[in-house]
Amino acid sequence: MTLKRLALLLSMVLILVLVASYWLIRMLVIIPILEREVASLQWHETLAVRQYFSQQQMLLSDLAISPGYDHWAKSVLEGGDATSRLTRGAEVAMAFGPDLSLRSFLAHDSREPDHFPILVGEAAYQRARLMPTMLPEREMVKTGLLWLGGNLYSYSASTVCSLNKLGCTLGYLLLLKPMPVSEVESNFTRLGIRVTARPARSEDLALPRLMNLTGLDEPVRQRDLLIRDSLSQGAWVLSIVYSAQVQHGVERREWIAFVLLLLLLPTTNFLLWRIFVTPIEFGSDQLLQMERERQYRKLTVNMYVKEFQHLVNAFNGLIGRVEKQRQQLQDLSQTDSLTGLANRRGMDHFAVREWRRLCRARYGGAVMMLDIDDFKAYNDEFGHQAGDDCLVCVARELKRVARRGEDIACRYGGEEFCTIYVEVQPETVEKLAESLRRHIEKLHKSTALLKRPISASIGVALVEPGVDLVKQFHDFDQLVRIADQQLYLAKQNGKNQVRMWRLSTAATEKPA
């Protein structure tokens, strides 16, 4: 798998983890919290419905103890005038004796007592369930709901005290007020609560009772509650459609959040590529190129992550040490360990590089071959250590005359040395060669390493500036062979001398 695909996969996994985390938090934390809050709000709506019915009963109770109805009931029960000039509303007033027999009846319309058979019939025990306990010393009141003839009424029953306050055993005053369905529903609508009412059926008796609820366990969209009257009859079923609801579906703002998360995918992928992928790929390409070229160098990549930059710095430090060791090994492989001059390998490397420049620029150059005269006899006479000291002294002189950075002096083999000069004038080469021969001849006077005087034979192959070498030679080796031939001639002609071959633009001198 490539790093780009891995970054894309990681960014996709990151987005999926975020979405899954949000969904889990939503289902396990947010939704339960919302459900508890909504259940609390729905409980308050339910309490408002219950308080409405309780309030209707309290209003009727206050009306029962008002001076008008109280005076009427006392007058009727004490045998006085049963007529009344009360400005009556929708309520119905009834006066009962202590034996629960009907003594008087008041209604604002044409209804007669026969409309309420349970209150005027023989079922006195049912009427007794509606009445409060009669105590002589004080007035008692009882309120509730009553289901009569397919209609729901709120009622208030109270004991009646005598006018002279001698006791509260005259009888009972009962007020009934109808609660039409349309009126109840419209009242709840004004309160902002959606309530519908219908008569209760036998299968509704198992529903929770409105007046007995103590709390709500979980929120629902609609709750059906049963209203029982004071005689335990099923009266109404109230269907409350709560305004507070739990939205289990995905809301619009959540869809917007999901879209933003999807937009976060390319952004996250871009950041991953920018911070991780691109620098690592760039560094990897550099490493692959180094592997192909077999040339190792420091990485030139900037990492945004500190730890990655530490790795790059460590790699560059390692490459620096390896390069330093490689250079040291290369120098050792191209350097003669005894004299400190370049060896044949070092000279060949230098010659290949400079030959191209020499052919292109035509700035001229020279090859000087030097051989210590009678070195074998010197070595046999004084030993190998003395022979090595002799080689070191001659090498020191060669370094002196090849001190420019463009020149190279090397130990060609045994007691034979070679010096290559570039960008040098012919007269300078002649002076250097002759000066070197004389210094070697007098070298025993300036150092104690030499046991006796020595001399050297020198052969030079000189190419003047402006000569087109491509037409004459293939490489530096041909000039080296020419210089070696000149050295051989110097040996044959008596040693301790300089022989020179010169190639000019006008003519070519051939070796003698």
* Identified catalytic residue from 254, 381, 415, 434: 415
Taking the C-alpha atoms of residue 166 and residue 187, their distance in angstroms, rounded to an integer, is: 43
Residue 110 has pLDDT above 70, yes or no: yes
Taking the C-alpha atoms of residue 316 and residue 283, their distance in angstroms, rounded to an integer, is: 11
Residue 351 has pLDDT above 60, yes or no: yes
**160-163 long-range Cβ contacts below 8 angstroms, 24+ apart:** 160/70, 160/73, 160/74, 160/77, 160/95, 161/74, 162/74, 162/78, 163/74, 163/78
Q: Residue 161 has what pLDDT?
A: 87
pLDDT tier at 14 (50, 70, 90 boundaries)? confident
Of 364, 380, 410, 368, nearest to 503 by C-alpha is 364
399-438 pLDDT tens trace? 888 756 678 899 998 899 999 988 888 888 899 999 999 9
Top-confidence residue, 428 or 247:
428
40-44, 142-146, 326-330: the lowest-pLDDT one: 326-330
Top-confidence residue, 328 or 27:
27
Residue with tokens 């040098």: 424
> What are the E-state strand segments in 55-178?
92-96, 102-106, 141-148, 151-160, 171-178
One of 3.40.630.30, 3.30.70.270, 3.40.50.620, 3.50.90.10 is the CATH number of 334-503, namely 3.30.70.270
Beta carbons of 127 and 153 less than 8 angstroms apart: no
Query: How many beta carbons lie within 10 A of that of residue 130, not counting itself?
Result: 22
Residue 478 has pLDDT above 80, yes or no: yes
Taking the C-alpha atoms of residue 45 and residue 37, their distance in angstroms, rounded to an integer, is: 13
Q: Residue 510 has what pLDDT?
A: 46
280-322 pLDDT tens trace? 776 777 777 777 777 767 676 676 666 667 777 777 777 778 7
Q: Residue 378 has what pLDDT?
A: 92
- The answer to whether residue 415 is catalytic is yes
Give me the torsion for CA of 495, 498, 503, 505, rounded to 10°.
-150
Range with top average pLDDT, 90-94, 152-156, 164-168, 508-512: 152-156
Beta carbons of 28 and 306 less than 8 angstroms apart: no
How many H-runs (helices) and E-runs (strands) does the chain carry?
A: 14, 13
Q: Where are the domains of the chain?
A: 1-249, 266-323, 334-503
